[in-house]
Amino acid sequence: MLDPHWAFHQAVYKLLSGVSGYAVYDLFPQQAKFPYIALGEATNVPWDDKSKPGHQFAYTIHLWSQYQGRQEITTMTNVVLGLLFPDGGWQPDLGPNFRLVLMTKDTVDYIKDLDGVSVHGIVRVKALIEEV
C-alpha cells in the first residue's frame, strides 16, 4: 500500500498557486506578507475494498488575513472552495499510482489569532483516493 499524501499535496499546491491570486506556501512561513495560504496537516486512513487498496484522506488548508473584519478571509475561503469544487468536479493529476474517487468539504473554521490582529481560516476537505 502506498501513501497518496505527496501526490495530493502537489496537486493542491499547483492548483492554488496557479490561479488563486494568493501566495501559497508548502510550509508555514516565518515572515509572509498577508494575505496568504499555507498547506497544512493531512491524515490518511485505509479505505480498501476487495479489489484494490484505497485511502480516506483528510487535508487541511490554512488561510491567513489581517484585514479588519471577515470579508477578506471569507473571500479567500470562497476562492479556495471554488477551485477545489468547481462545476463538473476537480480531477487532479495524482500521478500513475492514485485516482481521486470523491472529495467533499469537511469543515471551515474562522478564528482570531492570538496576536489580536490576524484572522485564521481553516478549510478541511476529505478525499477518497484509490490506488490504480
Q: How many Å apart are CA 23 and CA 52, to the nearest integer?
A: 37
Q: How many alpha carbons fall within 13 Å on the CB side of residue 80?
A: 29
Tell me the residue range of the domain where 75 lies: 5-131
Kind of pairing, strands 36-46 and 23-25? parallel
Instruction: Give the Cα-Cα-Cα angle 13, 28, 36 (nearest 5 degrees).
Output: 65
**Which residue would you say has higher pLDDT here, 18 or 10?**
10
Write out pLDDT tens, residues 96-109: 999 999 999 999 99
CATH of the domain at 95: 3.30.2000.30
- How many whole angstroms separate alpha carbon 92 and alpha carbon 89? 10
In total, how many domains does the chain have?
1
Instruction: Say what the pLDDT of residue 7 is.
Output: 96
- ∠ CA 92-95-99 to the nearest 5 degrees? 60
Residues 6+ apart with CB under 8 A from 15: 83, 84, 90, 92
Return the C-alpha torsion angle 104, 43, 37, 120, nearest 10.
90
pTM, 2 dp: 0.93
Tell me the per-residue pLDDT of 12-51, one tens digit each, with 9 for 90 and over.
999 999 889 999 999 888 889 999 999 999 999 998 877 8
Cα angle 10, 108, 58 (rounded to 5 degrees) comes to: 40
